[in-house]
């Protein structure tokens, strides 16, 4: 990747965020077991929380966005799971340590992207952070 052609990312799910989500779901699923509710309510409630949490983690890992591209003209493009490429608007960008979190919106939908050191090459992430920090606010 060179800065002459813009910045492009092939997106993969982050193992760090997946583990963090699994830990939160596990704690939330165990919490009803320590309440004063009858056991006939505690167990189904714990299983329901675990099932909903599992489904949310699976949905997070199967993002609609397959790849992301930011041209030098400050135009974002997303390639969706079906193969369609659409121009997108960057609604929000957050830099948290070495990680970048983006919220994008395109004509038929929107999505969020988490770029962490475990799912993005370090040089690409550094370049993105530098470009975002020098970008003009909309």
Number of structural domains found in the chain: 2
What is the 8-class DSSP label of residue 135? S
Question: Among 5-9, 15-19, 28-32, 96-100, which is the least confidently predicted range?
Answer: 5-9
pLDDT greater than 60 at residue 48: yes
Distance in angstroms (rounded) separating the CA atoms of residues 100 and 107: 23
pTM of the model: 0.79
Question: Considering the chain, what percentage of its residues have pLDDT values greater than 90?
Answer: 59
Say yes or no: 127 and 87 in one domain.
yes
Residues 6+ apart with CB under 8 A from 123: 1
For residue 70, give its domain range: 3-12+66-134
Say yes or no: 44 and 103 in one domain.
no
Average pLDDT over residues 20-36: 96
**Which residues does residue 103 pair with via DSSP β-bridges, in sequence order?**
92, 112
Summarised one tens digit per residue, pLDDT across range 97-134 is: 989 999 999 998 898 999 999 999 888 899 899 888 88
Tokens (6 digits) for 97: 């340590």
Say yes or no: 78 and 117 in one domain.
yes
Whole-Å CA distances, 69 to 5, 7, 60, 65: 10, 6, 20, 11
Say yes or no: 91 and 49 in one domain.
no
Say yes or no: 31 and 76 in one domain.
no
Say yes or no: 82 and 114 in one domain.
yes
Summarised one tens digit per residue, pLDDT across range 87-101 is: 999 999 999 998 999
Say yes or no: 91 and 39 in one domain.
no
């Amino acid at each position: 990747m060179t800065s002459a052609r813009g910045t492009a990312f092939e997106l993969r799910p982050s193992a760090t965020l997946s583990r963090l989500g699994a830990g939160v779901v596990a704690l939330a699923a165990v919490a009803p077991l320590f309440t004063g509710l009858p056991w006939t309510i505690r167990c189904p409630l714990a299983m329901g929380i675990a099932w909903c949490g599992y489904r949310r983690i699976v949905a997070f890992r199967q993002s609609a966005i397959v790849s992301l591209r930011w041209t030098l003209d400050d135009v974002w493009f997303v390639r969706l799971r079906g193969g369609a490429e659409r121009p997108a608007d960057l609604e929000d960008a957050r830099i948290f340590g070495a990680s970048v979190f983006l919220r994008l919106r395109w004509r038929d939908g929107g999505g969020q992207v988490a770029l962490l050191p475990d799912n993005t090459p370090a040089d690409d992430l550094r370049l993105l952070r530098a470009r975002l920090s020098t970008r003009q606010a909309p």
